[in-house]
Chain A
Amino acid sequence: MTAAIVARGLTRLFGDLRAVDSVDLSIAPGTIYGFLGRNGAGKTTLIRMMLGLIGPTSGEVSLLGKPVDSRGGSSGPWKRVGYLVDGPGLYPELTTAEHLEIATAYRRLPREAAPTITERLALGAYLHVRAGQLSMGNRQRLGLALALIHEPELLILDEPTNGMDPAGVVEIRFLLLELARRGTTVFMSTHIVTELARTADRIGIIDSGRLIQTLDHRGLQELGRPRLTLTMGSDGLATRATAALAAHGYPAIGQGTTVTCVDRRAWTSPETIATILVHAQAPPRSMAVEQDTLEDHFLQITGG
């Protein structure tokens, strides 16, 4: 099956700045790929290159099997791609309905397309409101409606929930999950890490223009695994504790005065561990069951 997005060695320089540096990507159809990075990490530049809004300095990208040409053109993959990048680009004097009519015309869609997407994104109450008078959340909703009106096979979204209230964020999450269930590929960047963790099948982390890690389902589950963390009084006690735990069949890792045990039995019955350590004359100062979130992991690997 052809990958929905393929990028090879995608690089973009702005003067001496490497905004995107040799990014390789292959995103399977029907999946949600989350894209995470700090401000200025290169997320938006990468998305702009994917959409042909700017040309790469080197490398290439193709969407749905068609190469992206930064000169635009009717022969590209654009009939099958929906996008929302850098916020919704709306004409302040046009109403919601007029924006949808224009999108319908540009994409040669049947008349029913506008009412369908209006209902789907709950825009009915704002049909005759000018875009300039919409709240930020509703502007974002309209931007999403324009991205979705033609039921694209591939959806590329840059911060899709920007400006939305918590209920709106949840609503969009369910919408994206539903789209992916129906076979739409979603590529989205967001700064809401928890949202991404709930939605994405795979997550790419970009830092200083480089794609430094890709986490699949298994990687995400690993992140969520709890562990028992023991703080000892000294390095010597930590070494003794590590040995005692190993002798009782609990693999543990000592680092300085900290001992970490990821064994399920350890964090489900920490009192057993405490007993072993007291008997080994290595009582811990404190014990805690900890669990890494995607946010912790992101901050850790991007040096936050």
Chain B
Amino acid sequence: MTDFGIALAVEVRKASRSRVPAITIFVFTVAPAVGALFMYVAADPNRARRLGLLGQKAQLSGLSADWAGMLTFAAQVVAVGSLLLFAFIATWLFGREFVDGTARYLMALPISRTTIVAAKSSLLAMWATLLTLWLVAVTILLGWLMDLPGWTTATGAAGAIHILVSAVLMIPAIMPIAYVASRTRGYLPALATALGLLAVAQIAAVLGWGAYLPWSIPAVAAGLAPDQHLGVASFAATLGVGAIGTAATLHWWRGPVAGL
């Protein structure tokens, strides 16, 4: 096995023994369940009236009680929620080594720090992708159980692709969070950065700049801003931020004070 294979296997093992994967699965299970509840409420105006505030919320969401509405809700969850959830994963993957005091053990092993950072980044990408696939599966399962109207293969495929593209575009945009978690040797500053980026992304989307800011690009990709469109600049911005975040993280891990 290569050094990268060993490092990745160790990272997978460490993650699988923690509660964090279960927490992330729970979040991406509850989110489509809430969408299904909204569909259930919105499907019948009388039911919505009877349920009071919940009924109003479901109707305010503007979602139609059909497959298109269900998949749009899931895309909204990924476009906004993935920034926070993926940032949570990145913060844990990188920051925990400093919080638990294990970074210094990793830094003088016969496996390079570059390999360890690459393994962590790869696990982050795999974890985020699998979670999104899980969310798509749960969404489709719930829609099927509710017997939502309007299913066509084209609708289902388009919805699923929107969700997956949105998630995949968020993964590189999360790498600066990995840097902040490493640089600040912990969790809170990285999570605060993620919240700050979420606020900035919302503002950028409202101002019509969503296609140029890496953290709002996933929302545009999910079709949440129909008047904005992704172009080469959007993909370049996402890849650029991903590259800068990865390089900064690597530079920090290989830097002269990483093991302080």
Contacts and interface: CB of A to CB of B under 8 A. Distances in A.
Interface of A: 48, 51-55, 70-74, 76, 78-79, 81, 83, 85-87, 89-94, 98, 102, 105-108, 146
Contacts, number: 93
Chain A interface helix/strand/loop/mixed: loop
A53 B258 contact: yes
A102 B13 contact: yes
Contact of B102 (A48, A72, A91): A91
Interface in B96-137: 100-105, 107-113, 115
- List the 6 closest pairs (A to B, CB-CB), nearest first: A53-B259, A55-B256, A89-B102, A72-B113, A71-B254, A89-B101
Given A89-B102, A106-B10, A53 B18 contact: no
A93 B17 contact: yes
Nearest to B101: A89
8 contacts: A52-B107, A53-B104, A53-B107, A70-B259, A72-B108, A85-B104, A107-B109, A108-B6
Contact of B254 (A72, A79, A106): A72
Contact of B111 (A52, A74, A93): A74
Contacts of A71: 113, 254-255
Contacts of B14: 91, 94, 102
Contacts of B18: 93
B15 to A, nearest CB: 10
A53 B103 CA distance: 9
Contact of A78 (B3, B10, B104, B108): B108
Contacts of B115: 74
Given A55-B257, A98-B17, A74 B101 contact: no
Contacts of B6: 105-106, 108
Contact of B105 (A70, A79, A89, A105): A89
Contact of B108 (A51, A87, A98): A51
A76 B109 CA distance: 9
A48 B110 contact: no
B259 to A, nearest CB: 2
Query: Which among A72, A85, A102 has the highest number of chain B CB atoms within 10 Å?
Result: A72
Contacts of A54: 256-260
